[in-house]
Amino acid sequence: MAFGAIYPHFSATRFPVPGSAKLDAVFVLAGGENRIGTGLNALREGKGDQLFILGTGHSVVPESILPGYDDFPAEFRRRIHIEGWSETTLENASSAKEIVGDRKLRSIVLVTSDYHMPRAYVALRNTIPEPVRIVVLPVRSEWKGGDAHWRKIRLFLVESWKYWGYRILLQWE
Protein backbone atom coordinates (compact mmCIF):
# COMPACT_ATOMS: atom_id res chain seq x y z
CA MET A 1 0.00 0.00 0.00
CA ALA A 2 2.84 2.40 0.80
CA PHE A 3 4.41 1.66 -2.59
CA GLY A 4 1.11 2.54 -4.29
CA ALA A 5 1.09 5.89 -2.51
CA ILE A 6 4.74 6.73 -3.20
CA TYR A 7 5.10 5.46 -6.78
CA PRO A 8 3.20 8.27 -8.59
CA HIS A 9 5.29 10.99 -6.97
CA PHE A 10 8.53 9.08 -7.48
CA SER A 11 7.69 8.46 -11.15
CA ALA A 12 7.03 12.18 -11.64
CA THR A 13 10.73 12.85 -11.05
CA ARG A 14 11.38 11.03 -14.34
CA PHE A 15 8.96 13.03 -16.49
CA PRO A 16 10.66 15.06 -19.23
CA VAL A 17 11.45 18.67 -18.31
CA PRO A 18 11.90 21.71 -20.56
CA GLY A 19 15.34 22.09 -22.06
CA SER A 20 16.74 25.00 -23.99
CA ALA A 21 14.61 24.41 -27.11
CA LYS A 22 11.47 26.53 -27.44
CA LEU A 23 8.26 24.51 -27.42
CA ASP A 24 4.96 25.37 -29.09
CA ALA A 25 2.91 26.19 -26.00
CA VAL A 26 2.69 26.32 -22.24
CA PHE A 27 -0.46 24.83 -20.67
CA VAL A 28 -1.32 25.86 -17.11
CA LEU A 29 -3.94 23.90 -15.21
CA ALA A 30 -5.46 26.66 -13.07
CA GLY A 31 -6.45 26.10 -9.49
CA GLY A 32 -3.31 26.05 -7.41
CA GLU A 33 -1.12 28.78 -6.01
CA ASN A 34 1.71 30.03 -8.21
CA ARG A 35 0.65 27.96 -11.24
CA ILE A 36 -0.38 30.90 -13.42
CA GLY A 37 2.65 32.96 -12.43
CA THR A 38 4.94 30.03 -13.25
CA GLY A 39 3.28 29.61 -16.64
CA LEU A 40 3.58 33.31 -17.37
CA ASN A 41 7.28 33.21 -16.46
CA ALA A 42 7.75 30.20 -18.75
CA LEU A 43 6.23 32.23 -21.61
CA ARG A 44 8.47 35.21 -20.80
CA GLU A 45 11.54 32.94 -20.67
CA GLY A 46 10.72 31.52 -24.11
CA LYS A 47 9.86 27.99 -23.00
CA GLY A 48 6.76 28.19 -25.21
CA ASP A 49 5.36 30.45 -27.91
CA GLN A 50 1.77 30.57 -26.56
CA LEU A 51 0.28 30.38 -23.05
CA PHE A 52 -3.00 28.57 -22.44
CA ILE A 53 -4.53 28.85 -18.98
CA LEU A 54 -7.12 26.09 -18.61
CA GLY A 55 -9.98 25.84 -16.13
CA THR A 56 -10.21 29.43 -14.97
CA GLY A 57 -14.00 29.65 -14.79
CA HIS A 58 -16.48 31.01 -17.32
CA SER A 59 -16.39 34.72 -16.48
CA VAL A 60 -12.67 35.17 -15.85
CA VAL A 61 -10.87 37.90 -17.77
CA PRO A 62 -7.07 38.07 -18.09
CA GLU A 63 -6.84 41.21 -15.96
CA SER A 64 -8.27 39.36 -12.97
CA ILE A 65 -5.68 36.57 -12.93
CA LEU A 66 -2.62 38.22 -14.50
CA PRO A 67 -1.38 41.22 -12.51
CA GLY A 68 -0.22 43.98 -14.83
CA TYR A 69 -1.90 42.45 -17.87
CA ASP A 70 -2.91 45.87 -19.21
CA ASP A 71 0.76 46.88 -19.21
CA PHE A 72 1.87 43.86 -21.27
CA PRO A 73 2.81 44.70 -24.87
CA ALA A 74 -0.02 43.93 -27.31
CA GLU A 75 2.04 41.24 -29.07
CA PHE A 76 2.63 39.49 -25.74
CA ARG A 77 -1.08 39.67 -24.78
CA ARG A 78 -2.05 38.03 -28.09
CA ARG A 79 -0.03 34.98 -27.04
CA ILE A 80 -2.09 34.44 -23.85
CA HIS A 81 -5.31 32.43 -24.06
CA ILE A 82 -7.84 31.74 -21.30
CA GLU A 83 -10.13 28.70 -21.31
CA GLY A 84 -12.90 28.65 -18.75
CA TRP A 85 -15.16 25.65 -19.37
CA SER A 86 -13.03 22.81 -17.96
CA GLU A 87 -13.41 22.11 -14.25
CA THR A 88 -11.59 18.80 -13.68
CA THR A 89 -8.22 17.39 -14.66
CA LEU A 90 -9.84 15.16 -17.30
CA GLU A 91 -11.73 18.14 -18.73
CA ASN A 92 -8.45 20.12 -18.75
CA ALA A 93 -6.89 17.26 -20.74
CA SER A 94 -9.81 17.21 -23.17
CA SER A 95 -9.53 20.96 -23.67
CA ALA A 96 -5.78 20.67 -24.19
CA LYS A 97 -6.29 17.91 -26.77
CA GLU A 98 -8.69 20.12 -28.72
CA ILE A 99 -6.26 23.07 -28.66
CA VAL A 100 -3.31 20.88 -29.67
CA GLY A 101 -5.31 19.47 -32.60
CA ASP A 102 -6.77 22.79 -33.76
CA ARG A 103 -3.42 24.57 -33.67
CA LYS A 104 -1.36 21.56 -34.78
CA LEU A 105 0.97 21.86 -31.81
CA ARG A 106 3.87 19.39 -31.63
CA SER A 107 5.24 20.15 -28.16
CA ILE A 108 3.86 21.53 -24.90
CA VAL A 109 4.95 22.41 -21.39
CA LEU A 110 2.53 21.27 -18.67
CA VAL A 111 2.44 23.51 -15.58
CA THR A 112 0.63 22.41 -12.42
CA SER A 113 1.38 21.84 -8.73
CA ASP A 114 3.97 19.24 -7.79
CA TYR A 115 1.41 17.08 -5.96
CA HIS A 116 -0.95 17.23 -8.99
CA MET A 117 1.67 16.57 -11.68
CA PRO A 118 1.57 12.74 -11.74
CA ARG A 119 -2.19 12.62 -12.34
CA ALA A 120 -2.22 15.60 -14.72
CA TYR A 121 0.61 14.12 -16.79
CA VAL A 122 -1.15 10.76 -17.04
CA ALA A 123 -4.38 12.48 -18.11
CA LEU A 124 -2.69 14.60 -20.79
CA ARG A 125 -0.39 11.84 -22.01
CA ASN A 126 -3.36 9.47 -22.43
CA THR A 127 -5.51 12.14 -24.08
CA ILE A 128 -2.89 13.71 -26.35
CA PRO A 129 -1.14 10.93 -28.26
CA GLU A 130 2.45 10.75 -29.44
CA PRO A 131 4.19 12.27 -31.32
CA VAL A 132 3.17 15.40 -29.38
CA ARG A 133 5.92 15.99 -26.85
CA ILE A 134 4.83 16.85 -23.29
CA VAL A 135 7.35 18.19 -20.79
CA VAL A 136 6.55 19.20 -17.22
CA LEU A 137 7.20 22.26 -15.10
CA PRO A 138 5.94 21.39 -11.60
CA VAL A 139 5.14 24.22 -9.21
CA ARG A 140 6.54 23.56 -5.76
CA SER A 141 3.78 23.80 -3.19
CA GLU A 142 4.24 26.15 -0.28
CA TRP A 143 2.97 24.67 2.95
CA LYS A 144 2.26 27.08 5.77
CA GLY A 145 0.55 26.82 9.12
CA GLY A 146 0.74 24.57 12.13
CA ASP A 147 -0.79 21.51 10.48
CA ALA A 148 0.95 21.95 7.12
CA HIS A 149 2.91 18.71 7.44
CA TRP A 150 -0.24 16.62 7.91
CA ARG A 151 -2.13 18.47 5.15
CA LYS A 152 0.76 17.78 2.78
CA ILE A 153 0.81 14.06 3.61
CA ARG A 154 -2.96 13.82 3.21
CA LEU A 155 -2.92 15.67 -0.12
CA PHE A 156 -0.13 13.53 -1.56
CA LEU A 157 -1.97 10.36 -0.46
CA VAL A 158 -5.27 11.52 -1.97
CA GLU A 159 -3.51 12.47 -5.20
CA SER A 160 -1.82 9.05 -5.29
CA TRP A 161 -5.15 7.24 -5.19
CA LYS A 162 -6.61 9.58 -7.80
CA TYR A 163 -3.57 8.84 -9.96
CA TRP A 164 -4.22 5.09 -9.78
CA GLY A 165 -7.88 5.70 -10.55
CA TYR A 166 -6.89 7.63 -13.68
CA ARG A 167 -4.42 4.93 -14.70
CA ILE A 168 -7.17 2.32 -14.49
CA LEU A 169 -9.93 4.49 -16.01
CA LEU A 170 -7.83 5.68 -18.93
CA GLN A 171 -6.83 2.13 -19.87
CA TRP A 172 -10.39 1.60 -21.11
CA GLU A 173 -10.54 4.75 -23.21
Quickly list DSSP for 1-36.
Answer: -HHHHHHHHHHGGGS----SSPEEEEEEE-SSTTHH
Number of domains in the chain: 1
| CATH number of domain containing 34 | 3.40.50
**Among 55-59, 124-128, 137-141, 155-159, which is the least confidently predicted range?**
155-159
| Overall average pLDDT of the 38-61 stretch | 95
pLDDT digits (tens, 9 = 90+) for 21-43: 889 999 999 988 899 999 999 99
Note the pTM of the prediction, 2 decimals.
0.85
12-46 in b/e form (b: 16+ CB < 10 A) is: beebeebeeeebbbbbbbbbbeebbebbbebbeee
Percent of the chain with pLDDT over 90: 59
pLDDT digits (tens, 9 = 90+) for 129-143: 899 999 999 998 776
Cα 41 to the center of its chain, rounded Å: 14
Residue 143 is predicted with a pLDDT of: 63
Is residue 42 within 8 A of residue 137, CB to CB? The reply is: yes
Is residue 23 within 8 A of residue 47, CB to CB? The reply is: yes
**The domain containing residue 141 runs over which residues?**
2-171
**Among 13-17, 109-113, 125-129, which is the least confidently predicted range?**
13-17
Residue 164 is predicted with a pLDDT of: 75
